[in-house]
Amino acid sequence: MRNLLIFITKYNAFFLFLIFFVASLVIYIKYNSFQKASFINSTNKVTSEFYARADELKGYLSLREVNDQLARENAELRNQLRSSKYADSVAKHMVNDTIYKQQYEYIEAKVINNSVNKRNNYLTINRGRKDGLDKGMGVITGAGIVGKVVLVGEHVSIVQSMLHKDSRFSVMLATHKEIGYLQWGEDFDPHKALLEDVSNNASPKVGEQVVTSQLSLFPAGIPVGKVSGLNAKGTGFFLKMEVQLAVDFSKLEYVYVINNKFATEQTGLEAQEKKDE
């Protein structure tokens, strides 16, 4: 306390000046309407700028939660699509009874690791066995196909990207319905792939849409990309063409894992058929 009194006594002139300055400033602003308006306007600008920045920060912090929620809602909407169901039709006594049952289930997932600049690229997603994932399930985004699940843990899974030398998916030309196989090109371009084994009876055009076929592990009709070049050399009776991929693999954040409820039954029957050949 004694030190405080000594300090105030030593600098009393400064404190008196400060008190009189603040008092005169308050009186000046209070009784001068123009200066009062200017002062209020200035403080309003400062506070409004502060609140605007605070709101931006709050919005940024909540953006991840919003994206997670949107991804979950999109998965639910995809589950309701007609393409996710199959028609269980019964015709008896001229009465057609068609019931649509769920065949494909979409499970949203977040990409937590990803590569695009290797010969064999993979993604890690934050969904695993506890979420219903299994090896061989297809993975897509809203833009198109991404790859397939190859390793499944309890909480995370590894996806073999389309950008992998062993990735090969059944696709078709959207207009001509000619089926072929899509695989990553030899030049390692993350934006392009090669469509092979298309019958030379087809007359594809640059810009034609390429989608998944009914022979794919994906539901038919999911976007893959567009024909971007017809100069690739085919073999024999088949065509080969370049495809501009619909998915930008360098910007993947959220994906959907497709659970085909008939997959186990189908693969089991196909394996039995091969044994009988």
The CA-based angle 184-185-189, given to 5 degrees, is: 95
Residue 30 near residue 36, CB atoms below 8 Å:
yes
Residue 125 near residue 156, CB atoms below 8 Å:
yes
Instruction: Please give the CATH number for the structural domain made up of 168-248.
Output: 2.40.10.350
Where in the chain are the domains?
23-76, 106-165+251-262, 168-248
Query: Is 168-248 the same fold as 106-165+251-262?
Result: yes
pLDDT at 97: 39
CA diameter of the chain = 110
Residues of the chain with pLDDT > 70: what percent?
60
pLDDT, one tens digit per residue, over 90-138 is 333 344 434 456 788 899 999 999 999 999 999 999 999 999 999 999 9
Residue 85 near residue 102, CB atoms below 8 Å:
yes
Q: Lowest-pLDDT range, 7-21, 201-215, 217-231? A: 7-21
pLDDT at 191: 95
| Spatial separation of the C-alpha atoms in residues 41 and 140, rounded to whole Å | 53
pLDDT at 203: 84
The mean pLDDT value of the chain amounts to 77
Residue 84 region by backbone torsions, left for phi larger than 0, else alpha for psi between -120 and 50, else beta: alpha
| Residue 89's pLDDT band (cuts 50, 70, 90) | very low
| Residue 246's pLDDT band (cuts 50, 70, 90) | very high
pLDDT at 60: 58
* Overall size of the chain counted in residues: 277
| Residue 32's pLDDT band (cuts 50, 70, 90) | low
Residue 121 near residue 104, CB atoms below 8 Å:
no
86: enclosing H helix or E strand? strand 85-92
pLDDT, one tens digit per residue, over 168-221 is 999 999 988 899 999 998 788 999 999 999 988 888 899 999 999 988 889 899
Supply φ then ψ for residue 86, to 5 degrees: -125, 155
**Which tokens belong to 40?**
């209020």
What letter would DSSP give residue 20?
A: H
Instruction: Please give the CATH number for the structural domain made up of 106-165+251-262.
Output: 2.40.10.340
